[in-house]
């Protein structure tokens, strides 16, 4: 969607954000502020939008700035005002709507991961009000979430005034809006959220932060052959793959992901895709260039203004929010995206993702005699979960159908055995989940879908004709459910097909036949 704006008004949006307005008034309240007797350096460093607090420490940190002793000044002190437990009292005095929406955001509640894990391991997701990381109990699924998964949510407490790109978790508003903790000044709050702020959580699970930059996890045993021993600072072995074209162009996460998508109230949504505000066609759509005026784009989903993108007579231009680079946005080219009824159901990423991270083997086991950190209790507690993973692949992903009947990419969500002393035998779980890999680039080949068993969810293997019928011979051994280790379904669509979300499915037998029989150019 386009919104018409005068050219000069657009440039003012780019040049003068609310955080860049220069305040002429002097620091207020400094004379009666005892905090500054010990913390004088903290008067400096504020972003322009928060200079009002430079001489009024208690507006964010509470305490008593009129006290004459350290104990008195620190009574009731809030060391980390942006934590969600404090945010409505601190940040919420100016940004109440944002604090309220973030509190019900999936990055805080983790509703999707709680719902899926409980359904797959316990058999039921539990009462509606309990489907969040803040309401975990001590059942098998919740125990696993507490010890293995619950570190990545905004409600986690922050304990140090520092950043660790690999291990940072939580901190509420501070998790995103502070990029640097200087030694000689107050940290500046900023809307220019760096990609490093996303990395701590999003380099796990779907591994979007890794994939976007062209890094992929590999099996530890194979890392010498694949990457010469390249490892992340936390020890995970990785290899170099093709990076996303947006990353190579100098774009940051916030150049696509809007505040509405990132901080919006998720309501009853339990999937990240339901919260995302942006789509490929918002920027690369088939829109007409204006005449002498300048227009800005808006998202089709929520009409969110994309004020850093201008559409002129010479095309659409993106002003990157962090680097300041100006990039011309390639327009949808009908030469390559014609009205093809056979491909109308495909999402953009289905063809334009160059690879996706995938893991086809996992074993998780609970030791009641061990101890492990509980991310909810914030303490070591009884019981320990251990995880062994194998068969990493960083390659083209499988095709599946989402709840909107559109074809997109699916990867293994869980292909694993789970062992727990309360059970008589181990449980085997096989589910696939949709993923937008963030590895955009040139389109995959026609053969990679229409002649590849992996694309259909059958796993590696080969097709053979017997008595005029097509059969599939898998390359890997069968597992407990009768499917090969790396499959999602079979050619007859009689086995497998599990997903953590209702409405998602692999291709049907007829759809597979249509794909395989399609003539290639």
296 and 310 in contact (C-beta within 8 Å)?
yes
348-393 pLDDT per residue, tens: 999 999 999 999 999 999 999 999 999 999 999 999 999 998 889 9
Query: Residue 20: its pLDDT value, please?
Result: 35
Confirm whether 117 is domain-assigned. no
Residue 16 confidence (pLDDT): 36
The mean pLDDT value of the chain amounts to: 89
Backbone φ, ψ for residue 95 (5° rounding): -125, 50
Q: Which residue has the higher pLDDT, 456 or 22?
A: 456
In a domain, 389, yes or no: yes
The answer as to whether 152 is a domain residue is: no
Domain span holding position 478: 348-517
392: Cβ–Cβ under 8 A, 6 or more apart, which residues? 216, 217, 218, 219, 222, 357, 358, 359, 360
pLDDT tens string 461-489 = 999 999 889 999 999 999 999 999 999 99
pLDDT tens digits, 261-281: 999 998 888 888 889 999 999
State the pTM of this model: 0.90
In the predicted model, what is the mean pLDDT of residues 404-418? Answer: 95
Q: Are 309 and 296 in contact (CB under 8 A)?
A: yes
Look at residue 233 and tell me if it is in a domain: no
Percentage above 90 pLDDT, the chain: 73
Alpha helices of 105-179 — where are they, by DSSP H? 106-109, 111-117, 140-144, 174-177
Order of strands, edge to edge, in the sheet holding 294-298? Answer: 2-5, 294-298, 305-312, 315-319, 326-329
Is 325 domain-assigned? no
Q: For residues 380 and 372, give the distance between their C-alpha atoms in angstroms, rounded to a whole number.
A: 5
> DSSP for 414-472?
EEEEEE-TTSSS-EEEEEEEE---S-B-SPPPSHHHHT-TGGGTS-SEEEEEETTEEEE
pLDDT tens, 97-112?
999 999 999 999 999 9
| Number of domain units in the chain | 1
């Amino acid at each position: 969607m386009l919104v018409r704006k005068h050219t000069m008004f657009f440039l003012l949006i780019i040049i003068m954000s609310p955080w860049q307005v220069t305040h002429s008034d002097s620091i207020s309240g400094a004379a009666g502020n005892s905090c500054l007797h010990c913390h004088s350096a903290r008067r400096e460093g504020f972003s322009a939008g928060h200079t009002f607090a430079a001489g009024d420490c208690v507006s964010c940190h509470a305490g008593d700035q009129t006290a004459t002793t350290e104990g008195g000044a620190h009574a009731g002190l809030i060391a980390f005002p942006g934590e969600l437990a404090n945010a409505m009292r601190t940040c919420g005095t100016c940004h109440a709507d944002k604090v309220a929406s973030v509190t019900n955001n999936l990055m805080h509640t983790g509703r999707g991961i709680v719902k899926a894990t409980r359904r797959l391991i316990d058999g039921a997701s539990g009462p509606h009000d309990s489907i969040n990381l803040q309401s975990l109990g001590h059942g098998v699924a919740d125990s696993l979430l507490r010890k293995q998964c619950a570190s990545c949510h905004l409600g986690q407490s922050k304990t140090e005034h520092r950043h660790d790109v690999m291990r940072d978790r939580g901190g509420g508003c501070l998790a995103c809006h502070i990029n640097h903790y200087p030694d000689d000044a107050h940290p500046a709050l900023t809307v220019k959220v760096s990609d490093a702020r996303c990395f701590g959580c999003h380099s796990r699970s779907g591994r979007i932060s890794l994939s976007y930059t062209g890094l992929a996890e590999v099996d530890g045993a194979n890392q010498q052959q694949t990457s010469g021993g390249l490892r992340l600072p936390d020890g995970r072995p990785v290899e170099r793959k093709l990076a996303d074209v947006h990353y190579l162009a100098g774009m940051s996460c916030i150049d696509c992901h809007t505040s509405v998508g990132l901080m919006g109230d998720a309501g009853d949504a339990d999937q990240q895709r339901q919260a995302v505000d942006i789509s490929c066609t918002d920027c690369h759509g088939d829109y007409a260039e204006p005449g002498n005026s300048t227009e800005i784009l808006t998202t089709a989903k929520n009409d969110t203004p994309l004020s850093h993108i201008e559409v002129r007579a010479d095309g659409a231009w993106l002003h990157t929010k962090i680097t300041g680079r100006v990039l011309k946005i390639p327009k949808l080219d009908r030469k390559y995206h014609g009205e093809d009824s056979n491909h109308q159901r495909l999402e953009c990423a289905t063809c334009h993702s160059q690879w996706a991270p995938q893991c086809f083997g996992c074993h998780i086991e609970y030791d009641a005699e061990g101890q492990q950190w509980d991310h909810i209790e914030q303490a070591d507690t009884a019981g320990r979960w251990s995880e062994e993973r194998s068969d990493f692949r960083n390659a083209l992903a499988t095709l599946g159908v989402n709840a909107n009947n559109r074809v997109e990419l699916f990867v293994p969500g869980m292909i694993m055995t789970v062992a727990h002393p309360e059970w008589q035998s181990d449980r085997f779980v096989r589910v696939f989940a949709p993923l937008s890999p963030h590895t955009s680039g040139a389109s995959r080949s026609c053969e990679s879908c229409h002649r590849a068993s992996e694309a259909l969810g059958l796993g590696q293997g080969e097709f053979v004709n017997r008595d005029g019928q097509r059969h599939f011979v898998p390359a890997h051994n069968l597992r407990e459910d009768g499917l090969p280790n790396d499959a999602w379904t079979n050619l007859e669509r009689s086995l497998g097909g599990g997903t953590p979300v209702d409405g998602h499915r692999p291709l049907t037998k007829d759809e597979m036949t249509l794909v395989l029989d399609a003539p290639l150019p």
